[in-house]
Amino acid sequence: MLFALIARDKPGALQTRLDTREAHLAYIKETGVVSQAGPLLNADEEMVGSLVVLDVPGLPEAEAWAENDPYAKAGLFQSVELIPWKKVI
């Protein structure tokens, strides 16, 4: 099952994102459940959040993945949504 994780960074947290980015990317590679991912950008093309598409059995696994993401553990996010998603194209 696919889930879209949409996370918005706390204001002024760019340095937290940059400091944690390598651990976050390693977590993505290690877990092997990310179908697509990338940062959300503001008008100045600065990273202000994340969009991650997870391919997991269900919501509990998506929640567990989100909670264990190094970005989440570093307190980067102001908000996180997990939304079931159906790939069409």
Q: pLDDT by residue (tens digit) across 70-88?
A: 999 999 999 999 999 999 9
Q: pLDDT by residue (tens digit) across 25-74?
A: 999 999 999 999 999 999 999 999 999 999 999 999 999 999 999 999 99
What's the average model confidence in pLDDT over 2-30? 97
**Model pLDDT, residue 43:** 96
- Give me the domains of the chain, ranges plus CATH numbers: 2-85 (3.30.70.1060)
- Classify residue 39 by its DSSP letter: E
pTM of the predicted model as reported, rounded to 2 decimal places:
0.93
What's the average model confidence in pLDDT over 6-34? 97
DSSP letters along 36-65, please? EEEEEE-TT--EEEEEEEEE-SSHHHHHHH
